[in-house]
Each structure stands twice: as structure tokens, then as C-alpha cells.
Structure 1
Amino acid sequence: MFFRMLKMLILPLMATSIVTGLANLNGKSAGKIGLITIGYYIFTTMVATLVGIIVAISIKPGHVINHAVITVKSVDNTPSQSAKDVFLDLVRNIIPDNIVQATFVMSGTKYVKLDKQTVTQHEHINGRNSSNNTDATEDETWTPTSVYKPGMNALGILSYFMIFGVILGRLGDKGKIVLQFFLTLNDITIRMVLLVMWYSPVGIMFLIIGKVLSVEDLISTAQQLAIYLTTIIAGTTVHVLILLPLLYFAVTRRNPFTVIRGMTQAIVTALAIASSSATLPITIQCCEDNLKMNNAITRFVLPLGATINMDGTAIFYVVSAFYIAQMHAISLHFFEVILLSLCTVLTSVGVAAIPNAAIVTLMVILSSVGLPVESISILLAVDWFLGRVRTVVNIIGDCLTAAMLDHFFPQADVDVNVEMGPEMSLCSSADDHPTTELV
């Protein structure tokens, strides 16, 4: 129930936060913040990829169980996505052909047999005899096809409302009524988040207990994959407690752990639900209420980060690929490592911010460097735990980015002086709704 309530608030919160955040920025600040935010997110993802490579090569988790007997579940013979397919899906999702449809489906690539119609015609003419000959050309009959998959297209919604918010902010007096609507809707959504937070202790407790009880043999699973878990935890710890804080301190000369301490509630929620998007309401609340960040910054940077900033996922991709390669005694050459890094950055940006989405996208990473895709089944037993680690790393990176931009773009650089008459006021008192009143 707790997870479903948070998911219910993702779409209205993302839309209103992006629109109000960008509409309240002047054109000069919006352009700078947008470029800096996207560039910084891509840079930290590349750093996370490098950290994953270093810890995987140093610890070598796959060598520890190289001679152990591991049961690998077989998968079907449908080809997995390639790096080209992932890139094309990313472009399709950024530019959706129907914004309403993007709220519940997203573009994806599915492999189907090329001669499906031909086989059907032969079966109609000759009965079922021709079906026996399809296996001979099975490797040559698969072709990628763009289809719609269930799930909210966060990238498409984000791109639409980013453009919407920028244009709305430049309309001036013409956009006052629309801006007032989104500010009020955002205020209503935040109040709904506060109501959900009263239920969070009970919801988080049952979510964690349920996941622990779903593992059949927790002790043997942990023993089998202990080094693998240790490697990922080491990489994420170095990235989120050393590298990102050092980068934040070097840029702002402020204590980064003050930011981390102020988002304790968001971290606990992320450990429970393992979703950056579902944690977004609590993340925004922590940044604005506890850390007193500029809401025009947080409502743009945090939804964007929940969609494209996946540092923890990047570390998981790299370590998992090296783990499977070492387990099968496969050496990755220099160019394969470069290809692995590029695919990691690309898929980290395009992966959906939902639980267990990374384990599915990992198939693309493995197939891009020629590693056995069926070995993913080994990781399923501990992915419920790693998903929570990835989410914590992602949201901490989002908040540190928002804090850094809040340092360089103070309240004076935000264009919130939209002149409105008394009849256009959003609230009767500035003390009641300080974040939504238009001056």
C-alpha cells in the first residue's frame, strides 16, 4: 500500500515540479542550470563506471567461486537487445508520439521472427509440415521491432514538461493563470505526500520484512555471493561517501555530510522501496524542508536526476559484467572494457527508475561484450538488496547536485517576481504557503 501510494504521486509531482521550477527561473538561469545539471550527471555516471571497473579488477569477485558448482537457469533463445537498440529506444522515449500514452507505456525493442507471415502462409497451404523446417533457419529469422511496454515513460514526460515550463516562464503576464494552476497543484501534491508520510513507518517495515522472507535460503545465498556483494558495496561506498562529497566540497567549500544527514528520511524510504522515482516526493521534501534549498532548483534538478542520474546502477552494471566474465574465465580486453563503459553510461541514463529494472537492462551490457546472458539468473537472489543500495546512491547524488546548484544559483538569481493582482493570489497569507505565493 505504501509503495502504491508513492507511485500514485510520481506523475503529478514530476509534472508540477518541473513546470513550476523552470517557470520560476529566468531564461538565463534556466539555460545555465539545465546544461550544468545534465553535464554533471553524465560526468558522475562516468566516474561511477570507472569506480566499478577499478573495484572489480582489484577484488576479482568471480575468481573466488570460479570452481564452485553453480546452477544457472536457462533462458529462451530470443536474442537480447544490442547497444544500438538501447540507443534507439532512448531517442524514442525522449520524444514520445503521444504524451498521454507516455504516462503508462514506453517504447522498447522486441525481437520477432522475420518470416512469421511466410511461415503462417506455408502452414495454411501445406498443413504443419513446414513448421518443422523453421528451426533450421532460426538464427536468421529474428529481427528487432519497436513495441510498447508497460511502464511510465519518465524521459518523455520529463522532456515535454521541461519545454513546457521554459516556454511558460517566458510568456510573462499571459502565463500567470497557467502558472498559478501548476503551483496550486504542486502544493496539493506536496500535502498528499505529507499524508502518506504518516503511514511510512508501517509501510517501510512490511516492505523490508517481506523482501527478507521471500529469500528461500538467505544464509547460503549470502555465502555464495558474498564477495560479489562486498565488491558492489565497496564501490558504492567509495563513490557516495568519498568521491561525491569530495567533489561537492571542492566546488562549494561546504560540508557535504550536512546534506546527507538532512535527507535521512529519503534514504530510509529508498532502502524500503528501491525506486528513485517513488522516493522523489520524500527527496524533494527533505531538500526543501530540512536543507532549505531553493524550491525552483529542487523541483527541476531532483526529477531530472531521478530519471537520468543512475550512479549506483552504473557501478552495478560494471561489477556484474566483470563478475560473470571472471566466473566463466573470460578475459575482457581493453576495447571490450571501453565498449562496456560506453554501454554502461548509455543504459544508466535510459534505464527506468523502477525496482529491478537494472537487472533486465544488464542483459544489454552482457550481450554487448559477448558474455553469457543466462548467467544473470545467478544475481536474481540478491538483486532485491542491491536495488536498495543502488537507489540510495542515486538519490544522494541527486541531492548533492541540487545542493551544489543551490549554492551557485541563490534566491537572487531566480525570477519569482511575477506581478499579480490581489485577486490572483494563491493563498491568503504568506505564512500559510510560503513556497507557492506569487509576489
Structure 2
Amino acid sequence: MTTKKKLSLTSRIVIGMLAGIAVGIFFQFILAGAEERQLSLLGLSIPLRAFFVDGIFHIGGEIFIASLRMLVVPLVFVSLVCGTCSLSDTSKLGRLGGKSIGLYLITTALAISLAMALALLTGPGVGVELQAESTFDVSAAPSLAQVFINIFPTNPIQSMASGNMLQIIVFALLFGIAMALTGKAGERLAGIFNDLNEVILRLVTILMNLAPYGVFFLLAKLFTFIRYETILNLFMYFMVVLTVLLVHGLLVYPVILKALTGLNPIIFLKKMREAALFGFSTSSSSATLPITMETVTKKLGVKNTISSFTVPLGATINMDGTAIMQGVATVFIAQLFGVDLSFSDFLMVILTATLASIGTAGVPGAGLIMLAMVLQQVGLPVEGIALIIGVDRLLDMTRTAVNITGDAMVSVVVGKSEGEFDESVFNDPRAGLKEESIDFHHLRDS
């Protein structure tokens, strides 16, 4: 008897994405030019938008995002405590922090420099003369000083409740160090945390099997409302940002990986496909963090002592995709309003956007708030942000995929340099695949 081969999780996610896009376009077509259309079924009149788009698609997508976000705080805290308490040598923690933060900031500076260079070369906003008017209201961006002050929690429980990732990371690091220095009591507590970490990772695996459905609901709703004329009006801006994102994700990261580790970048990119699809679908580095952690550990071969530190840190401070958007948007808005930026202005944008990436939350749309701070630093009208909101959602999806690819690349580099890396797992094309599917009938019967 032949058994039917199951589709891989990646294949099912792609099918969910394509189906969601197709259904969204279909609903946009049939709802065009009408406040509401009705579907007659079994004598009942069902409002299409309220029932499907604002109902089923919205609820399904929000439940999927909520289920991922549910895991973020416990996963970051528990895994980071486990990784930190296993480092009996506290100087190793300093090395990990120095290497990780240094690489993240360097790749961010490269990203925004490349973005502004291509924007200046192509001139997406040249020839348009706009007048600045205060028509766009944006939340106030925190100062750089306040960003650094906010890293340290005054109430760690409140930090966990509000999802303040930087404060959670700092508290987890301090808690893990204290456990490592406590002796027998710390060892007993470490065993509990390690068991808890295994349970959380199993929960991640279970939720991953629901991803194709969540992706379908998210994209079906998005493509129902997307305004195609807005994308056409900002086509040049869109293509410049997209080009830099692809170059950075598919060229810059692999080159850095090859130069610093000698590993095959093609293998790396292939194993990142699934996590990148998650990032693209959710537009949230934080929501994708459980899947990124799973990929880095189980497929790329980075030991948990490294990944539990570098991946949560990267989801918080590594915002290369956001920096690319900010670089191109700054040049684009300056060209639209006819403002000439000096060389010192460009340097200020690079510095500000690089440091601002540390304070950019890993949630959809947070980059727009930080863009306001970048624009203010060089005297550009903040209302220019309103011009790019129409296409930012699609770009947000792509830059999230770039961000998590950068998180994984830095994790591999740091893991390799610390000797906490299994190259046989990295080179094994089937590594981690056994975790993709769960036999729920077996779980129920056992």
C-alpha cells in the first residue's frame, strides 16, 4: 500500500498565501463601487463584506497573530534565561553581546547607506513640487536618550505584560546571570526553566501547523482593501525600496556569512524560506520570533546557548528593513518637497536611523513612527509620511522577512565564532523537517 506524501509546511504556507491573495482580489472586484453586496443562500441574505472580510478573514487573521504573540514573551524570557544561566563564564556573555550588537549595527548602517545611494541615483521623487502642510498627525517618537533609558525596567512584570522586549531582555539577562552565580539553587531552577523551554518549543511546533490558514486569512483581508492606484502613483518609490531589500537580503547577508564563516550561503537562504514566509505574512519580527528561533536552532545548527540570546536581541534591535525604508523615504520626501540635503544631513540620517532601529518595535507599522524622528533630524516635513502609507504595508511585509534573515545570519556567525555551532545540521537538507508535522491523532490517543 502506498502512502500519500504530505506537503511540507513551506508548501502549505505558499498555497495559503496564493489562495489568500486570489480571494482578496476577488472580493475587491465584486465589492467595487458598492457599500455592501448581499449573498442569497438558503433563503438568507448574507452581507459579503461584513460576513467574510470583516468577519471570517479578520477574526481568523487576528487569532493567528494573537497565537504567535502569545508565545513571544514566555519564549524570549525563558529561552534567554536558559541560555544565560548556562554561561558560567560571564565574560562570554560580554563577548556575545559585543559581537551581536556590533554586527547588527554594522548591517543596519550598510542597509541605510545602500538605500539612500540607490534613491539618489534613481530619483523617485524628482520633478514633483509639493508644499508642506501640517495635515499628518504622527505619534511622538522618543528621543535617543529616552530610548537608552527605557532599556532598563523599573517593573519587570509590567514590562512582560506590555511586551517591552528590550526591558524583558535586560531582566532575563540579569536573572540568568544571578542563577548562574547562585550555585545549587540556581542549578535546580535551571532544570525547571529547561523543561519549560521544551514545552514552549513544542507549543511553537503545534501552532506552526496552523500557519497556512492564518496566512490565508491575513492576505485575503489585505488584498480586499489595498488601493492599486496608490501603488501605481508611488511605483518608483516602491521599486527602489523593494530592490534594496532584495539586494540586502539575498546578496549582502550571504556575502557577510560567506566572508565570516565560509559556510554555503545558498543552504542558508534555502533553510530560511519558511521563516521568511512567516515574516512576510505577519509583518512582525516579534510575532515571527518563535519560528525564527526554531529555524536557527533546528535547521541552521546554532546551539540554544547562542540562539536564545542573539535571536530575541535581533528581533528587538536589528531593523535593517526598517532602516532601508527610512533611508529611501527620507530622500524621496526631500525630492518631493524640493529640499536639498547636504552631506552632513545624509550622515545624520545614517546615524539617526541606525540608532533609531534599536527603539523600533518589531510590530507592523512601527517604522513609520521612527521615520518621523529621522525626518525631524534633517528638517523635512513629517506630513510627507502620509504619501507613503499607501504602499507601506506591502513593503513592511518584505522588510520583516529581511529583518529575520539578518537575525539568523548574525546568529550563525556568532555561533560559529564561539564554537557553539553544528555544521552537520547546517549542511543536512532534512534537519528540522521531522518537527514540521504533528500527528494529532497520536497525541490524542497517547
For normalisation by structure 2, the TM-score amounts to 0.77
Shift of 1:398: 0.6
- Equivalent residue for 2:156? 99
Residue 49 (1) aligns with residue 58 (2):
no
Using the TM superposition, name which of 16-25 and 170-179 deviates more.
170-179
Whether 1:211 aligns to 2:222 is yes
Select which of 133, 147, 156 maps to 1:90: 147
**Corresponding residue for 2:68?**
6
Return the offset for 1:92.
2.9
- What letter is aligned with 1:75? F
| One-letter amino acid matched to 1:6 | L
Correspondence 1:345 to 2:335: no
5+ residue gaps, structure 1, are 106-151, 414-439
Letter paired with 2:85 = A
Deviations 1:120-170 (A, max 9, x none): xxxxxxxxxxxxxxxxxxxxxxxxxxxxxxxx2111111111122223223
Q: Aligned with 1:371: secondary structure? A: coil
CA distances 1:392-429 after superposition (whole Å, capped 9, x unpaired): 1110011011111221222499xxxxxxxxxxxxxxxx
| Residue 166, structure 1, aligned to residue 210, structure 2 | no
Write the mapping of 1:372-391 to structure 2, written as runs, cut at 5 A. Answer: 372-391=381-400
Say whether the 8 Å CA contact 2:108–2:320 is kept in structure 1. Answer: yes
Distance change in 2, residues 1:348/1:183 (3 Å): same
* CA distance in structure 2 between the partners assigned to 1:80 and 1:10 by the alignment: 26
Partner secondary structure for residue 62 of structure 1 = coil
| Distance across 2 between alignment mates of 1:291 and 1:80 | 39
Contact 1:94 1:156 in 2 (8 A): yes
Change (3 A) 1:210 1:71: farther
Question: Alpha carbon RMSD of aligned pairs, Å?
Answer: 2.1
Is 1:248 the counterpart of 2:311? The answer is no
Counterpart pick for 2:235 among 226, 229, 242:
226
Query: Using the alignment, how far apart are the partners of 2:279 and 2:140 within structure 1?
Result: 30
Write the distance in 2 (CA, Å) between the matches of 1:371 and 1:21: 44
| One-letter amino acid of the counterpart of residue 92, structure 1 | I
Distance 1:61 1:412, change over 3 A: closer
What do residues 225-281 of structure 1 show as CA deviations (whole Å, max 9, x unaligned)?
110011111111221211221111111111122112112211111111011111010
Q: How does 1:19-418 map to 2 (within 5 A)?
A: 19-27=81-89, 28-63=91-126, 66=128, 74-76=135-137, 80-81=140-141, 85-105=142-162, 152-215=163-226, 217-218=227-228, 220-411=229-420
Specify the SS of the correspondent of 1:101.
Answer: helix
Aligned to 2:125, the other structure's residue is in SS state helix
Deviation at 1:25? 2.5
Q: Secondary structure at the match of 1:100?
A: helix
Identity, in percent, stands at 32
- The count of corresponding residues between Structure 1 and Structure 2 is 359
The AA in structure 1 aligned to 2:263 is: R
Instruction: Decide whether the 8 Å contact of 1:259 with 1:403 is kept in 2.
Output: no
CA contact (8 A) 1:18 1:162 kept: yes
Counterpart of 1:113 in structure 2 is none
Distance (Å, rounded) in 2 between the aligned partners of 1:411 and 1:371: 46
How far apart are 1:29 and its partner, in Å?
A: 2.8
SS at match of 1:398: helix
TM-score of the aligned structures, taking structure 1 as reference length: 0.78
Amino acid at match of 1:400: M
**1:366 Cα deviation (Å)?**
1.0
Tell whether the 8 Å contact from 1:30 to 1:166 is kept in structure 2 after alignment. Answer: no
CA shift, 1:73, in A, is: 8.2
Name the aligned partner's letter for residue 107 of structure 2: T
User: Structure 1 205/373 Cα, relative in aligned 2: closer, same or farther at 3 Å?
Assistant: same
What residue in structure 1 maps to residue 428 of structure 2? none
The whole-number CA distance in structure 2 between the counterparts of 1:171 and 1:33 is: 22
Q: CA deviation at 1:202?
A: 0.5
Structure number with greater Rg is 1
Alignment check: 8 A CA contact 1:17 1:303 kept: no
Aligned to 1:417: none
* Offset of residue 208 of structure 1: 1.4
Distance (Å, rounded) in 2 between the aligned partners of 1:100 and 1:158? 12
